[in-house]
């Protein structure tokens, strides 16, 4: 068995079989990273460049750990300290890196479609680590993996994605992934932060937090991405917190226990309070742990496909 693609540009391009293969392989790697010695030699002849044109903590560290635990050679590149600031184009930058015999590129970029663009123009396996507000496939895979681990299956699972849907690449990738795996999805947030096209993706749209929480088995809370908001999408942050902020009081009023997820970074006190983020309902740190296993699976299977 192998993946149907040689790049990971988005969940949209993956088949259900690809996702199943990635999740089952991630299960094997989770066992590996819980061993006393967490390293395997699978990618010892592979060199991977992590090219980040945007800030990142979790994703970048998680990819680097995954690469090192697979014994790959790793080079890191941050746009802020590179020749990009001198006017070099994306293709030139990447081709120069590839000329140094790099096999795979993990890229985060502020512009949607940049991973697709790169995959068309350079000879290397491209892994999208987030492109603008488009897709963040490895985050969706690790969310799916965490949910599958917790609930056993994704089929029929009710998942709510709550918050700034408009600017979120996590939301779009999650919708594609969860739908392909048979989950039922609702997106929830202020009308200004839910684009119209979501209703065509086979998901329900809600603007009522409590109703959505009452309906779902798991809620994925998203951060308000103020850095991407060029205009005001809601009157004030305080009003947003009152309408869409999740706190323990709301959770305890529900007549069931639901699982809380967050892709990070968390803005404590805005989309989620600390007692919820650190509470018994939270899956947040398991998501981070699973992130390494899922990324190892992505790298391992893509390296084989090439």
Partner 1 sequence: MQSRLLVSEIQFQTMIRRLCHQLLENHQNFNNTCLIGLQTGGVKVVNRIKTQINLFLPEVNLETGALDITFFRDDYKRRQVVVPNATQINFIIENKKVIIVDDVLFTGRTIRAALDAMLAFGRPQKVELLALVDRRYSRHLPIQPDYVGMVVDTITPESVKVSWKEIDGVDGITLLTPDNLEV
- Distance, in Å, from the CA atom of 165 to the CA atom of 290, rounded to the nearest integer, reads 23
* Owner of token pair 């997106």: 187
Q: Does 4 bind partner 1 (CB under 8 A)?
A: no
Q: Does 304 bind partner 1 (CB under 8 A)?
A: yes
Residues 196-225 that bind partner 1 (CB under 8 A): none
H-only helix segments in the chain: 16-33, 58-69, 90-98, 114-121, 137-151, 169-180, 209-215, 237-244, 248-253, 274-277, 284-305
Q: Which of 12, 38, 58, 158 is catalytic?
A: 58
Q: Does 28 bind partner 1 (CB under 8 A)?
A: yes
Is 108 labeled as catalytic in the residue annotation? yes
Q: Does 62 bind partner 1 (CB under 8 A)?
A: no
Please state the closest distance from residue 113 (CB atom) to partner 1, in A.
29
Out of 15, 16, 17, 24, the residue judged to bind partner 1 by CB under 8 A: 24
Q: Does 257 bind partner 1 (CB under 8 A)?
A: no
- Distance, in Å, from the CA atom of 45 to the CA atom of 43, rounded to the nearest integer, reads 6
Going by C-alpha positions, the residue among 34, 38, 40 that lies closest to residue 72 is 40
Is 167 labeled as catalytic in the residue annotation? no
Going by C-alpha positions, the residue among 272, 275, 255, 250 that lies closest to residue 263 is 272
- Distance, in Å, from the CA atom of 93 to the CA atom of 197, rounded to the nearest integer, reads 34
Is 57 labeled as catalytic in the residue annotation? no
Q: Does 101 bind partner 1 (CB under 8 A)?
A: no
Please state the closest distance from residue 301 (CB atom) to partner 1, in A.
7
Would you state the structure tokens that stand for residue 27, as one six-digit string? 């299960």
Stretch that binds partner 1, among 31-39, 138-146, 220-228, 275-283 (CB under 8 A): 31-39
Q: Does 91 bind partner 1 (CB under 8 A)?
A: no
Of 170 and 301, nearer to partner 1 (C-beta) is: 301
Q: Does 288 bind partner 1 (CB under 8 A)?
A: no
125, 98 Cβ separation under 8 angstroms? no
Q: Does 51 bind partner 1 (CB under 8 A)?
A: no
- Distance, in Å, from the CA atom of 241 to the CA atom of 261, rounded to the nearest integer, reads 17
Of 24 and 274, nearer to partner 1 (C-beta) is: 24
Is 86 labeled as catalytic in the residue annotation? yes
Going by C-alpha positions, the residue among 23, 17, 12, 22 that lies closest to residue 304 is 22
Stretch that binds partner 1, among 22-30, 107-115, 199-207, 223-231 (CB under 8 A): 22-30
Out of 8, 9, 19, 21, the residue judged to bind partner 1 by CB under 8 A: 21
Is 295 labeled as catalytic in the residue annotation? no
Bond prior to 265 in cis (omega within 30° of 0)? yes
- Distance, in Å, from the CA atom of 212 to the CA atom of 222, rounded to the nearest integer, reads 14
Q: Kindly list the residues in this chain that would bind partner 1 in the complex (CB under 8 A).
A: 1-2, 21, 24-25, 28, 31-32, 35-42, 45, 70, 300-301, 303-305
**Residues known to be catalytic:** 58-59, 86, 108, 136
């Amino acid at each position: 068995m192998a993946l149907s693609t040689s790049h990971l540009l988005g969940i949209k391009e993956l088949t259900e079989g690809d996702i199943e293969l990635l999740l089952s392989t991630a299960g094997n790697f989770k066992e590996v990273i819980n061993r006393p010695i967490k390293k395997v030699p699978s990618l010892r002849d592979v060199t991977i460049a992590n090219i980040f044109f945007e800030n990142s903590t979790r994703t970048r560290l998680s990819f680097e750990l995954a690469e090192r635990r697979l014994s790959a050679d790793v080079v890191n590149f941050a746009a802020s300290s590179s020749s990009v600031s001198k006017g070099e184009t994306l293709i030139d930058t990447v081709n120069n890196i590839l000329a140094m015999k790099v096999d795979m590129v993990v890229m985060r970029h502020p512009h949607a479609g940049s991973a697709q663009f790169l995959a068309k123009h350079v000879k290397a396996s491209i892994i999208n680590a987030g492109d603008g507000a488009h897709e963040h496939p490895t985050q969706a895979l690790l969310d799916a993996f965490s949910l599958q681990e917790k609930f056993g299956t994704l089929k029929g699972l009710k998942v709510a994605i709550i918050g700034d849907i408009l600017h979120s690449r996590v939301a779009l990738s999650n919708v594609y992934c969860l739908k392909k795996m048979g989950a039922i999805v609702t997106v929830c947030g202020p009308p200004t932060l839910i684009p119209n096209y979501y209703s065509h993706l086979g998901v329900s749209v809600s603007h009522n937090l409590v109703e959505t929480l009452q309906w779902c088995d798991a809620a994925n809370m998203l951060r308000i991405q103020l850095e991407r908001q060029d205009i005001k999408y809601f009157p004030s942050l305080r009003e947003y917190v009152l309408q869409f902020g999740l706190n323990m009081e709301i959770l305890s009023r529900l007549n069931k226990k639901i699982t809380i997820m967050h892709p990070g970074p968390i803005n404590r006190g805005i989309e989620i309070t600390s007692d919820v983020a650190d509470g018994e309902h939270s899956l947040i740190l398991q998501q981070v742990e699973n992130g390494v296993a899922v990324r190892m699976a992505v790298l391992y299977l893509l390296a084989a496909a090439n």
